[in-house]
Structure 1
Amino acid sequence: MRAYFVTGTDTDAGKTLVAAGLLARAQAAGLTTLGLKPVASGCETTPQGLRNADALALQAVSAPAMDYAAINPHAYAPAIAPHLAAERAGDHLTLAGLVECLAPQLALPRDLILVEGAGGWRVPLNDREDLAGLASRLALPVILVVGLKLGAINYARLSAEAIRADGLTLAGWVANGIDAEMQEQAANLACLRRHLPEPCLGVVPPLGDGSPQALASAAAAHLRLPGEANNALT
Structure 2
Amino acid sequence: MRQGYFVTGTDTGVGKTTISCALLRAFAAQGKKAVGMKPVVAGSENGRWHDVEQLIAASNINAAREYVNPYAFDPPVSPHIAARQAGVDIDLAVIQRAYQALSSQADIVIVEGAGGFLVPLNARQTGADLARALNLPVILVAGMRLGCLNHALLTAQAIHASGLPFAGWVANCIDPQMQVLEENIATLEQRLDGPLLGVVPFDLEMDVHIHESAGLLEL
TM-score tier (shorter): over 0.9
- Does residue 221 (structure 1) correspond to residue 208 (structure 2)? The answer is yes
Q: Aligned in 2, Cα 1:228/1:159: closer, same or farther, shift over 3 Å?
A: closer
Contact kept in structure 1, 2:79 and 2:122, CA below 8 Å: no
1:150 maps to what in 2?
146
Shift of 1:135: 0.9
Displacement after TM superposition at 1:226 (Å):
5.5
Report the Cα distance in structure 2 between the residues aligned to 1:40 and 1:141, rounded to whole angstroms.
21
Residues in 2 aligned to 1:43 and 1:53: alpha-carbon distance in whole angstroms: 7
Using the alignment, how far apart are the partners of 2:63 and 2:100 within structure 1?
15
What TM-score do the two structures reach when normalised by structure 2?
A: 0.93
| Alpha-carbon displacement from aligned partner over 1:137-162 (angstroms, at most 9, x marks no partner) | 11100000000000111111100011
After TM superposition, what 4+ stretches of structure 1 lie above 6 angstroms from structure 2? Answer: none
How many angstroms apart in 2 are the aligned matches of 1:127 and 1:5? 22
- Are the aligned partners of 1:37 and 1:117 in contact in 2 as well (CA < 8 Å)? yes
* Residue identity (%): 44
Please say if 1:132 is aligned against 2:131: no
CA contact (8 A) 2:197 2:216 kept: no
DSSP-derived class of the 1:136 partner: helix
Q: Are the equivalent residues in 1 in contact too, given 2:8–2:112 (CA < 8 A)? A: yes
2:79 corresponds, among 77, 82, 85, to 82
Partner of 1:232: none
The answer for unaligned runs of 5 or more in structure 1 is 209-217, 230-234
Please say if residues 56 and 68 of structure 1, whose CA atoms lie closer than 8 Å, have aligned partners that are also in contact. Answer: no
Query: Which residue is equivalent to 1:55?
Result: 52
Contact 1:201/1:226 (CA < 8 Å) preserved in 2?
A: no
Query: In the alignment, residue 209 of structure 2 is paired with which amino acid?
Result: H
CA RMSD of aligned residues (A): 1.6
After TM superposition, list the pairs within 5 Å mapping 1:50-129 onto structure 2.
Answer: 51-108=48-105, 110-129=106-125
Contact map agreement 2:172 2:200 (CA 8 A) in 1: yes
Gaps of 5+ in 2: none
Q: How does 1:26-65 map to 2 (within 5 A)?
A: 26-46=27-47, 51-65=48-62
